[in-house]
Amino acid sequence: MTSGNTVLSSINEPDGGRCVDVFRRPDGSFGFDEFRRDVEDPSGWFRIGFHGDRVFQTEEAATEAARIAVPWFRDRISG
């Protein structure tokens, strides 16, 4: 994720291999992205969603967009 963003929530898939981060940018806008990691790879998390450039006015709007875009996340977050 771009430096300077503040992660507001990070929700993991049940097996821990993927996560969605909802964040606030320094300009006050919000966004989200999806990441994955392989437990056997010590490199850490890799961006796989490529949603991070989408801009939202509220945290709630970013979270709702993530629910629509990421199927497993939709099942994890009730709304």
- The pLDDT, as a whole number, for residue 1 is 52
**Pairing relationship of beta strands 30-36 and 18-24 according to DSSP bridges:** antiparallel
Classify the phi-psi angles of 41: left when phi > 0, otherwise alpha if psi is within -120 to 50, otherwise beta. beta
DSSP string, the chain: --TT-EEEEEEE-TTSSEEEEEEE-TTS-EEEEEEE--TT-TT--EE-S--TT--BSSHHHHHHHHHHH-HHHHHHS--
**pLDDT per position as a tens digit, 20-66:** 999 999 999 999 999 999 877 788 888 998 899 999 999 999 999 99
Q: Which pTM value belongs to this model?
A: 0.85
Query: Which residues span the domain enclosing 30?
Result: 6-76
In a domain, 12, yes or no: yes
Per the structure, the count of domains in the chain is 1
In a domain, 1, yes or no: no
For the cut 80, the answer to whether the pLDDT of residue 78 exceeds it is no
